[in-house]
Structure 1
Amino acid sequence: MTAVPRLSIGLPVYNGEEYLAESLDALLGQTFEDFELVISDNASTDATESICRRYAARDSRIRYLRLPRNIGASPNHNRVFTECRGELFKWASHDDLYARDLLLRCVEALDERPDVILAHADQAVVDGDGRVKVPYEYGLATASPHAPERFRSMLFEPGGDDFYGVIRAEVLRRVKPLDSYHHADRTFVAEIGLRGRFHQVPELLYFRRDHPTRAERANPSKRSRCVNLDPRRAGPLHPTPRLLAEYVWGFVATIQRVPLSPADRRECYRHLAAWAASRVRPGSGERVEDRAPVDPDRFAVSVDDLVAGREGRRA
């Protein structure tokens, strides 16, 4: 590994003891090895610290940082990026799983396509045991050379976890840091998408774990999710209507902030207006994880065969 790694992985975590070791095994078992893994522990009160220190003692690529108090998920995501040094960057989740070739395929895609700013791979939702619940095809037009088309697809199409792709760090530094209003991650990724094309590697390499303690499940209301993102959102100054208004304004501000031609800017505003009108209709806002699950025993791909650390689980 070089003194300054090619890729930085930022892993923000809070009370992740249940699945953290599995995710660390999957990341450290990648076929692409020139990376650093920066873990920012948001003052966890469970065994997260001991797990992180045990893995850091084994692998010099890990840098473990512990916050003295819980600053919220969004500030912790932003903080871990500022701590990273690589020319490429990826956020990782403490509970997701990563096939051995995920980083390699994404880095190769960026090297082969200098105009692409983010690369990710096909994905599936898995349950707490790592068994596939919902495989899904990537349907977003983020590879389009036309910025308004990319923006429209990110507004209307469900699915895609581009937030967890491999991103060119110099582009990410120009993006407004992740906020903490309702669906702030969507406006964040929309800004990345307006700044350049994405590439989707056509291999099933990323597995997003859906379980009862995942932040979205553990915080069922919009307000509770936003307070989880940033404790400063608690209290009467941040009612739900404000959190929703900030969400819509986040898209507007993104269109204003990104360098676009006047024609492209107008087209983005038209797509945003159509999206806002569609949100008032019943059935809007489909979530991939809420689709009908498949029978995991009939699924052709084995997560245990693809992910480091899970060898022999089916035996």
Structure 2
Amino acid sequence: MLGTDTLVSVGLPVRNGAARLEGVARSVLAQDHENIELVICDNASTDDTEEFCRELARSDSRITYHRQPENVGLLNNFIHAGRIARGTFFRWVGDDDWLAPECVSRSLRAFAEDERLILVTTQVSYSDPDGMARTGVYEGTGLLSDDPVERFAEMLRMLNESHLLIDPLYGLMRRASVVGIPRRNMLREDEVFAAKLALAGPWGHVPEVLARRNWKHERIGAVGRRLGVPAWQARFSSTLQYREILRWLREADLTGEQRGRARAAAHRMYARRQWRTVSHRGRKLARLGTGLILPGRSSGRSAAGS
């Protein structure tokens, strides 16, 4: 039975985020669930992050501040937050995110109603750089299944859908069930980890907007630079993701029949993604071809018709 004394840890990885941290930290500490631990993992920031965080920790005993002595990379800093947290339940939060006061308590209620769950997600509002807020409604039930392959196939299906529907990396997790899952620093690692989480156990979902995140579209190469992976991975990110998922399926606790079904689901996901990539490139080439032809049809006039 989960009560108000259940410790919930919120991991806040950060690097050079002094100007962004106050809002998210206050939203975590304002949760209506009483027993909260905020774990700030500072990845060797070079701005005023350390000074701000140490002052914040002095002001509230629920805050634990850890500073990496050197830059350990974005992913390793995320992982470390989960490893040093003490809570039975754990959630990551970004340095410019926001949580509704009832975010943790509503998620804990879902855990209390279904003891099978290892993860509970909520609806999230995403703010674009232009300030427009968008969200999506997830209405599926596959992630609740006792069949790991059904959950896995549902997660892979969603990787080709909108990011607005569900984000398992920013849900509340049973920490013991999650922190031991190995992660490899690579492009699309978050999607690989989501697939691993789907195999690990059933998920619940709260169809209410209980968190807000900022969303900025980045080219795959820029993401790779932030992760510190070789530049060549950007050209083969989908293939590397596919291979990593297949590698994990060989290690996962599945029967032979389940492993075969899971591989088939991975093949479908990869094939669909490759088809979309080829289609996108085809449309781009068609637009370029049209652009080359148009000036010849303009009878000597400029493209603007002057």
Tell which has more relative contact order, 1 or 2 (C-alpha 8 A, sep 6+): 1
Classify the secondary structure of the residue corresponding to 2:28: helix
Residue 161 of structure 1: aligned partner: 167
Cα pair 2:53 2:65 within 8 Å, conserved = yes
Amino acid at match of 2:203: F
* Distance in 2 of aligned mates of 1:124 and 1:132: 10
Deviation at 1:18, TM superposition (A): 3.3
Cα pair 1:184 1:250 within 8 Å, conserved = no
Q: What do the CA deviations read for 1:210-235 (whole angstroms, capped 9, x no partner)?
A: 25xxxx63xx333x423322x3x347
Q: Does 1:188 align with 2:187?
A: no
Residue 225 of structure 1: aligned partner: 223
Residue 302 of structure 1: aligned partner: none
Alignment of 1:126-165 (within 5 A): 126-127=127-128, 133-139=133-139, 141-157=142-158, 158=161, 159=163, 160-165=166-171
Cα pair 1:279 1:285 within 8 Å, conserved = no
| Residues 1:161 and 1:36: Cα distance change in structure 2 (over 3 Å) | same
Amino acid at match of 2:96: D
* Distance in 2 of aligned mates of 1:58 and 1:284: 54
Q: Which runs of 4+ in 1 moved over 4 A?
A: 241-244, 283-286
Residue 204 of structure 2: aligned partner: 199
Q: What do the CA deviations read for 1:234-290 (whole angstroms, capped 9, x no partner)?
A: 47xx6435654431122112222221222221111111111111112236999xxxx
Q: Does 1:170 align with 2:169?
A: no
| Residues 1:136 and 1:239: Cα distance change in structure 2 (over 3 Å) | closer
| Structure with the higher fraction of residues in helix conformation | 2
Classify the secondary structure of the residue corresponding to 2:138: coil
Amino acid at match of 2:102: D
Cα pair 2:10 2:28 within 8 Å, conserved = no
Amino acid at match of 2:188: H
Q: What do the CA deviations read for 1:44-63 (whole angstroms, capped 9, x no partner)?
A: 12222222122211110101
Classify the secondary structure of the residue corresponding to 1:282: helix
Residue 114 of structure 2: aligned partner: 113
| Residues 1:133 and 1:285: Cα distance change in structure 2 (over 3 Å) | farther
Please report the TM-score for the alignment, with normalisation by the length of structure 2. 0.81
Deviation at 1:166, TM superposition (A): 0.9
Please report the TM-score for the alignment, with normalisation by the length of structure 1. 0.78
Residue 6 of structure 1: aligned partner: 7
Classify the secondary structure of the residue corresponding to 1:150: helix
Q: Which segment is superposed worse, 26-35 or 167-176?
A: 167-176
Cα pair 1:12 1:80 within 8 Å, conserved = yes
| Residues 1:187 and 1:61: Cα distance change in structure 2 (over 3 Å) | same
* Distance in 2 of aligned mates of 1:261 and 1:132: 46
Amino acid at match of 1:227: R
Q: What do the CA deviations read for 1:68-96 (whole angstroms, capped 9, x no partner)?
A: 22111101111111111111111111111
* Distance in 1 of aligned mates of 2:40 and 2:63: 7
* Distance in 1 of aligned mates of 2:173 and 2:85: 12
Cα pair 1:26 1:99 within 8 Å, conserved = yes
Identity of aligned residues (%): 28
Residue 59 of structure 1: aligned partner: 60
Cα pair 1:10 1:84 within 8 Å, conserved = yes
Cα pair 2:224 2:234 within 8 Å, conserved = no
Unaligned ranges ≥5, structure 2: 281-306
CA RMSD of aligned residues (A): 2.5
Q: Does 1:88 align with 2:93?
A: no
Cα pair 1:179 1:185 within 8 Å, conserved = no
Classify the secondary structure of the residue corresponding to 1:179: coil
Structure 1 counterpart of 2:213, from 208, 212, 235: 208
Deviation at 1:132, TM superposition (A): 5.2
* Distance in 1 of aligned mates of 2:256 and 2:263: 11
Amino acid at match of 1:170: A
* Distance in 1 of aligned mates of 2:144 and 2:97: 25
Residue 293 of structure 2: aligned partner: none
Residue 75 of structure 2: aligned partner: 74
